[in-house]
Amino acid sequence: MFVIFGAAGQVGKVSATVLREAGHAVRAVVRDRQQGEELARIGCEIALADLLDTASVARAIEGAYAVQILCPVPRAHADPAAEMRRMINSSVDALEANPPQRILALSDYGAEHASGTGISTLFHYLETQLKTVDTQLTFLRSAEHMHNWTRMLPLMLARGVLPSLHHPVSKLYPTVAAQDVGVLAAELLLDDRALNVSPRVVSIESEQRVSTFEVARTVGELAGSQVIAREVPRGEWNAMLQAAGLGERYARLIVDLYDAHNAGRIDFEKEVSERYFGATTLAQALAGMLPAVAAVAASR
């Protein structure tokens, strides 16, 4: 049995689908029954779990051969870092009590740093805590997800501007499509070649690095309008993020992350990481996102 946490998400759903298509039994773990309807249709067993509830996590992993664990950043919480650490601790307690043969954790570029990288430090904590579980561990560290641009597309389409925390807008940085992460995660769960290596650290990014300038240009070409990338002055970051609805502590995690990005600290860890490349291009990913965003904008 392969147990996939966060199975309703963009990465987890792909992993569950790949494993089912290969003929494996999959238990898809979601927060509510409605999220599991599509997964049930492809033959997944559905389990409900709350990562803050050790007992529900324990029930979800019962009988598991392998577990794919995702711990999302609770962006709506007043203290996202503290809440995510509680989620990690609760999940690790359940995994320590009944360890599967394999665990694959969805992690982040920069997770090797214990401090100074904002959100990435939470994935450092996830990796550190999981090392206490007696199992074969794989940490799949992915670059910035291309689908994160979905949140900015309405602004780009309406105003023709892409505000950027990446400085300068011409700077190339790694990104990756969520579906490529999901496919690789499933393949790694099935891979027997490195069973004597734990933790196994794997990184994934797209074959081509991109810049914010390129993102704006590509959206403009796809939408048939001009979009300009604009650097947001460093002193305005906090105010902009909080005006967009982010809490003060979540905004601080974002600010610290982009300070680390701009200082060149967020990348794959060359010394320990196996490096993989996703085939999805920026243009392909954005072309997949635009129709839904444009449809919503048109309906208003």
Q: Kindly give the parts of the chain with pLDDT less than 50.
A: none
Give the span between the Cα atoms of 106 and 277, in whole angstroms.
16
Going by the DSSP 8-state scheme, the letter that residue 232 receives in this structure is: P
State pLDDT tens for residues 256-300.
Answer: 999 999 999 999 999 899 999 999 999 999 999 988 877 666 666
Give the span between the Cα atoms of 153 and 255, in whole angstroms.
21
Which of 154, 184, 173 lies closest to 212, judged by CA?
Answer: 173
* Both tokens assigned to 38: 């599509």
b/e code 108-143 from CB counts within 10 Å (16+ = b): bbbbbbeeebbbbbbbbbbbebbeebebbbbbbbbb
Structural contact between residues 102 and 67, judged by C-beta atoms closer than 8 angstroms: yes
Q: Is the dihedral of CA 28, 204, 202, 92 positive or negative?
A: negative
State pLDDT tens for residues 84-128.
Answer: 999 999 999 999 999 999 999 999 999 999 999 999 999 999 999
Q: Give residue 192's pLDDT.
A: 86
Whose tokens are 């430090």? That residue is: 121
Which of 167, 178, 168 lies closest to 143, judged by CA?
Answer: 178
Give the bridge partners for 205, in sequence order: 277
Domains and CATH numbers, the chain: 2-144+175-206+266-280 (3.40.50.720)
Q: Please give the angle made by the CA atoms of 214, 166 and 184, to the nearest 5 degrees.
A: 70
Q: Give residue 18's pLDDT.
A: 98
